[in-house]
Structure 1
């Protein structure tokens, strides 16, 4: 029965059936093979509806909406200016400022494609005008945009929490140091690249000179409310003032206030388009979430996680061998499946396996998200690649090729995260 479920999934995916339909259809396979099986069509429908009755889930559309408001309000430019002020004239300074901006913007949007789009639309034309290679800029933004799902608040962490039982707050905290580590690795390669290929120092000094003529105080005050947004969102969560869901609602209110009344980069007439984009973004996720909740219940009834845990436990006697195999599997999944569905499908299967092997569910959550984040820049899915391609009109393959060294830096950080659990757990424990 378990084999039939996964065989059906592979066939439907190869036929390019929408993922929400795939998940719903494979839920019916056990009942089709055995009419006495508890998961009848009505059972599945009820679980799809009841699975969406969750306070935690409200955080996802709120963070999506907040990210859209910030993107349309030009918040990424405010963030980029303040980082450029300090390091823009150093070797690799502006590419490093792009990575830092993605780190901060990820703490606002919680989405990798949103981070790539918001930061890339502003920074890529600027970097190219200063003499940087267009393909390098596109690859840099695409790979750094993946930080949007690792730095909290992260939508994938919320999805993982729903299916694993791990605390959302602990997962958010656990993502901070790994996100910074990956960012540092990306910046190290950026500096190396700029040293090897050179930079137009004259244009750089001219550009940063114009920024510094404004003075630090003016640049800082202009960016202050943008810099304060992740502090408010995360501070209320870590300070025990708000739940992640309440903080998500606060982030929407805060984004509206600073974009409408402080920076005045949005007008009331723009709100309809913002809300429409938010609905269009979240609606497909909603269908996938409902189907995934039903799929999780079907897996529990078939005892698939327990059987797989038993098989893998007898096959891989070493915890290191087991986690390496799971990492390779997740890297492959990230290449062929979007992050949300992958988390919803695989979490109830893999978490019992790794906990039996002695891994902390929070630590494994970070490992899982980092693996799948690499999928944002690996074809054929590679959402960030397509966003960067849209921004630059470059072929996806050209950007992917240029992103390979960046992915090497990402892999180094991943290995450290896997084998040094304290990187993820230090702030949690």
Structure 2
């Protein structure tokens, strides 16, 4: 009840983020139900059903990451005197954020169920009735225990990720932050992110090599979800996880590059801001880099292979990933702006012109693009190489 009352106090931007979280969770729930429908309608093809279910983990991971990023920017996770009065202090704010996120995702999944049932049995003689029936496995009764279990996955995963993200935000930063001359610490996730990305590339290359060299149909990449096995899906998930872990380190590297040599006031201000806020916005930018790399790899594979057009479920999953990545980056930008509000106000009181602050923001964006875009292009080339043979 407290979470519902707090939702009423949200600003339109916070409500819009919650609406996007609900919509993305509903789309993920629809994809999970479609995988279940295919498995029930085609019991003789368990490998394809497993591959379709594993492909749902890609939009699920994107939705969970965006839900955690949105939870960090919610007004309900900020300490308030009124919340302390009712016993909701900083230690219980993660539980409040988890419940609020689970509620939004549950609403989206609850709306996905009647939409799935209607498209599965209620199209009649519509032009797309046959295709929808084949994709969603019409004609077989769904096990409702499995339906409830699958629809509970997005709210549960998003709630757990939101609680962890909110708790990490509430923890005091390590090191003597109170000394203004101490440089921001280097994020420790860059080596781990590089290692996980390398493992993901190796797993994808090994799985693609086995799929191509083994007897049977070739790996239809691009194509339907039936062609790529669990190894390729797992490799792509590891690549995205690695880039997400390496994101804060890459943002910190952008700040170091801006401050190299003998920087002026503009470069020094921009580099310092990037280094200070790298742990806050790096993960979302790393996931956006992973999505850009996946889009570049898919575009190259479509251009080289000339495969069939993607199906509606593939397009829905891709739309979920893209929307979650872009919305997560926008949420990170809003969090960055809120975190720098006091510093910006102090600079304004010192007489710094607004044009200088805008130039510093543009310089930060240019530095991020100069580092993240080549990184995404390199990962895309490496990821597409095993599948383009």
TM-score w.r.t. length of structure 1: 0.30
- Say which structure is richer in helix: 1
TM-score w.r.t. length of structure 2: 0.32
Report which structure shows greater RCO (CA 8 Å, sep ≥6): 1
